[in-house]
Amino acid sequence: MSRAQADNALRGELLDDGIELSLAELCRACQLPAERIFELVEEGIVEPRGRTPARWRFHALHLRRVRRAQRLQRDLGVNTPGIALALELLEEVESLRARLRHFEPGTC
Amino acid sequence: MEFRDYYDTLGVKRSATRDEIKREYRKLARKYHPDVSQETDAEQRFKEIGEAYEVLKDPEKRAAYDRLGANWQAGQDFRPPPDWNQGFEFHGGGFSGGDSADFSDFFETLFGRGFGGHGGREFHARGDNTFARISIDLEDAYSGATRTITLQQSRLGADGRPQVSERTLNVRIPRGVRQGQHIRLGKQGTPGMGQGEAGDLFLEVDFKPHPLYRVDGTDIFIDLPVAPWEAALGASVQVPTPEGRIDLKIPPNSAAGRKLRLQGRGIPARRPGDLYVVLQIVLPRADSEAAKQAYLDLQRATSFDPRAGLGVRS
């Protein structure tokens, strides 16, 4: 890539640890109704800071969990408690696979 | 355009019931779902399965598809019959804007037009947010980088049919990014309708597997092979890090698996992670008289019992 191209590159906003999303922002980013987020919070799939929905603040990494939860529901018909279980297991499998990849390169 | 055999894709007979089709779809979807599957072609397979199910689960689309006849073979050159789409009335359930880029030309030709719902139902003043994934190297998270990504986008053309177009973006990857985080690019999503502004594009960051380092959040781990005398006597050795080589002091009497923490040398996020160097003791082979003698001398010099904890005598 040329220098000029690199200079013209789009600069986005990194949703890092310093950024928290309100309920409205999370809904807008994921294009989901608030009711759906309530269900996910009730099941402990995402855990916002703050006591009332108006004060909820979601960690930026929750965006990934919510999107994943939506895909699992839409594509596989998994219900909300099932999603909570699936996400926990998937995260465990991911970390185990990362370790396995490390100890036995080429296996997964 | 190639004919697609949707029954074959789902592995069901043409006479399969709706329940059977759903069951087979779910089985395959669990197997190939990109969030779950490790198969290399998972994403492609999942799209094909989704497309097949989209047609076969819907009695109207299935009936229309069946009317093409059973004599087509997958991959055969296909052109829709001239009277295609006549005599059918389709209700909603057409494909939504978000899915259209994923489906084949075959699907689009058969069902992309006249399957109701698309225009009015999908109307938004503001464009939709779109999501994509971007793969980067660990080193990019340390230094920041510029990466080019190509996105497929579908939008409604002047004739009311969705059109798939490709566009290429140069994106600045900010320093300190980590696995699973999103980069939000304002107004780079789906264009708005009328005067509405475009949605946002969210890029999910994915690290490519690295041959040396293992990543856990903002922390980085590297295995460092050391000689027995380096671990026993202490040493100063060079260690690669994503930022370049550093000199590291190995304390005397270090055991295998000992972790040495280099604070703040992990991913330079807002709260920087740490770099962990994990010692791996590597034994030299006893392949010469001198080496054998050295091992024997070591045996005599120590009363070392590696199996002391197992309750057996050595």
Q: How much is the pLDDT for B100?
A: 46
Residue among A16, A63, A86 whose CB faces B270 most closely = A16
Contact check, Cβ <8 Å, B211/A12: no
| A17 contacts in chain B (CB < 8 Å) | 269-271
**The pLDDT of residue B281 is above 80:** yes
Does residue B1 lie within any of the structural domains? no
CA distance B302 to chain A (A): 32
For A5, nearest residue in chain B (alpha carbons): B170
> Could you give the 3-state DSSP secondary structure of residue A59?
strand
Q: How much is the pLDDT for B123?
A: 47
Both B54 and B157 in one domain: the answer is no
Q: Which amino acid is at A52?
A: T
| A3 contacts in chain B (CB < 8 Å) | none
Task: Select the highest-mean-pLDDT range: A65-79, A87-101, B63-77.
Answer: A65-79
Both B194 and B141 in one domain: the answer is yes
Q: How many CB atoms lie within 10 A of CB B61?
A: 22
| A95 contacts in chain B (CB < 8 Å) | 216
Q: What distance lies between CA B39 and its chain's CA centroid?
A: 11
For A86, nearest residue in chain B (alpha carbons): B36
Q: A24-33, B20-29, B86-95, B302-311: which has the minimum mean pLDDT?
A: B86-95
Both B197 and B232 in one domain: the answer is no
Q: Is B136 exposed, middle or buried (0-12, 13-18, 19+ CB in 10 A)?
A: middle
pLDDT in tens, B31-57: 899 888 888 888 889 989 999 998 999
CATH class of domain segment(s) A14-103: mainly alpha
Whole-model pTM: value is 0.70
Both B295 and B194 in one domain: the answer is no
Q: Which position has the token pair 């009015």? A: B120
Query: What's the domain range around B11?
Result: 6-121
- Choose the final residue of a domain: B162, B182, B207: B207
Contacts for B109 with CB less than 8 Å, ≥ 6 apart? B1, B80
Tell me, what DSSP letter sits at residue B77? B
State phi, psi for B62 to the nearest 5 degrees: -65, -45
The interface predicted TM-score (ipTM) is 0.74
Contact check, Cβ <8 Å, B170/A10: yes
Residue among B35, B203, B215 whose CB faces A71 most closely = B35
pLDDT mean across residues, chain A: 86
Residue among B35, B148, B180 whose CB faces A1 most closely = B148
Contacts for A94 with CB less than 8 Å, ≥ 6 apart? none
Question: What is the domain count for chain B?
Answer: 3
Both B198 and B226 in one domain: the answer is no
Does residue B221 lie within any of the structural domains? yes
Band the pLDDT of B154: cuts 50, 70, 90.
Answer: low
Check: CB of residue B135 under 8 Å from CB of residue B145: no
Band the pLDDT of B184: cuts 50, 70, 90.
Answer: very high
Band the pLDDT of A6: cuts 50, 70, 90.
Answer: low
Residue A106 touches chain B, beta carbons under 8 Å: no
- Choose the final residue of a domain: B92, B121, B150: B121
Q: Give me the mean pLDDT over the A16-36 stretch.
A: 89
Contact check, Cβ <8 Å, B129/A75: no
Both B34 and B77 in one domain: the answer is yes
Residues in B 161-200 with any Cβ partner in A closer than 8 A: 169-172, 174, 176-178, 180-186, 188, 200
Contact check, Cβ <8 Å, B33/A71: yes
Band the pLDDT of A106: cuts 50, 70, 90.
Answer: low
Q: How much is the pLDDT for A108?
A: 53
Max distance between CA atoms of chain A, in angstroms, equals 50
CATH assignment of the domain containing B273: 2.60.260.20
DSSP per-residue letters across B173-197 = E-TT--TT-EEEETT-SSPPSTTPP
Q: Give me the mean pLDDT over the B243-264 stretch.
A: 95
Both B22 and B117 in one domain: the answer is yes
Both B231 and B271 in one domain: the answer is yes
Q: Where are the domains of chain A?
A: 14-103
